[in-house]
Structure 1
Amino acid sequence: MEIILILMIATVGVALLYQRSNGGKTHHLHKQERFTEEIKNLQVESTSVDVEVVKVDGEEWRVTLSGNVYEKDKDHFALSHEQKGNNLTLRVTEEKTRVGIQMRKDMKLLIEAPVKTIGSFMVETSSGDIDVEGLAIHHSTLTASSGDVTIADVIHENLQIQTSSGDVLLKNVQSRNTDIHTSSGEVFGEKFDFGTGVFGSSSGEIRIHATKMLGDVAVSTSSGDIRFFYEEEPDSCKLVYQSNSGEAQIHWTGLHYEVRNENKVRGTKAEGEFQLTAETSSGDFKVG
């Protein structure tokens, strides 16, 4: 423990010394690329830079890397691309400083897409956030180590999200097939119609608000709670819940229970068209 504390203090000290060596001077970085060709598939590879993708009017794609960095670090960031036919790959690389640390402030990669639909969309970041708004996407694969993922007003065929410690936030999102997993982050969905869904979290809460049940759902957490709310209660469904120490609150009507106690629930309504399966170690489960 003492060694870890010493390392943390040393890291902070080095960072402060590096900041002081810059004299507090910052530089506004602005690098932009434009593409007039038709682009259907987009791949983004980033380090610690935030990535934002928005729908815009016009005929050209605009990709802008911008933010404030220390004066000595202005040449440490590079934006490159590779285009093959309708496929575009964007890369943001960040060199370490001479003292072996990465120093940045408010860096963001903004992608302005003049299209209604993207075929394949892949984004991978280490500690940067990912924000997507206003598009229709056939296949999305979003990966963030410690950054958050926020999606708003987007229609998907297939949506896959993987984070380590970042949260996942979804608002007015539709997807036919959904797969979302996070280690210690939380998953929040508001007006999120996810179709067939698989959700997983180690210690974070999973809370979804959907219009109606559109497919089978499998959700699991270690210590986080699970909460699903449907505006339209399903007419035909199965419900299965298993927990070691959590409790279940079921607000659906018309279920015929085979088993119903604090830690285990199994019930069916009508023909049981869609099934919701929830499993927790110590988290509670609520559905309504």
Structure 2
Amino acid sequence: MHHAQIDRLSYRASPVHALDARVKLICVLVFSVFVISLPATSVSILACYAIWPFAVLVTANIPIKFVLKHILIVSPFVAVLAVSNLLYDKEVVVAVFGPWRWETTGGLLRCFSICGKFIITMTALVGLAATTRFSDLLAAMAKLGVPHLFVVQLGFLYRYIFMLIDRGYHVLRARAGRKLRRLGFGDEVKTSAAIVGSIFIGSIDLAQRVSMAMQGRGFDGRFHRLGKKRIAGADYLFAAILALYIVGLQFLGRVFY
């Protein structure tokens, strides 16, 4: 299944993969908060923030093309919000990039800021998913105090979505093998609606069978793990480096802006 590539990447071996999931999760959340809270006029500081997630991806040997492709999939939703700023905010502001300063509209600057923050934070999140097994992420959430019901629902969602996508591939492949001619637009819409309905009805039956199989194997509402991982020195070092990196950028932002 091609959609399982991110799952395969999480089983690779690298210094980033070996870090504790709790440390990586907290670091990504803290990093994202600082990126989002950055003023729109701090263009150069925003560019410096982009170095960290891409450096982590290179260290973990995660293909940059793979990450950018996943960012591109969800980018239209953010693009609509970013482009709308061009129409409503035409106030003249001063943008700063290192020693260079220039005047531009607030809408253009906010558009660039939203797109930049989206790319940086999404790169960090995709990097987290590509370097951490999902079972480890669920265990990390549980240990950090995330509600048990939310963790269980997230675990089921992760498992069922692979089955749903795979079933969709089978249905589309079957349709392509039985389609002998091009249909009109109306017929295509009707056929697509029937396919979507068939997939969702079949997914309900599949979910029931999976649930019965899990209960038959003693599932008690918790995802058990064979061993417990402790936070090691490398985890503290990773968190300390990120903290120094963020503090340094915050200091530069206060000095030069």
More RCO (CA 8 Å, sep 6+)? 2
TM-score of the two chains, using structure 2 as the length reference: 0.21
Which structure has the highest helix share of the two? 2
The structure where strand makes up a greater share of residues is: 1
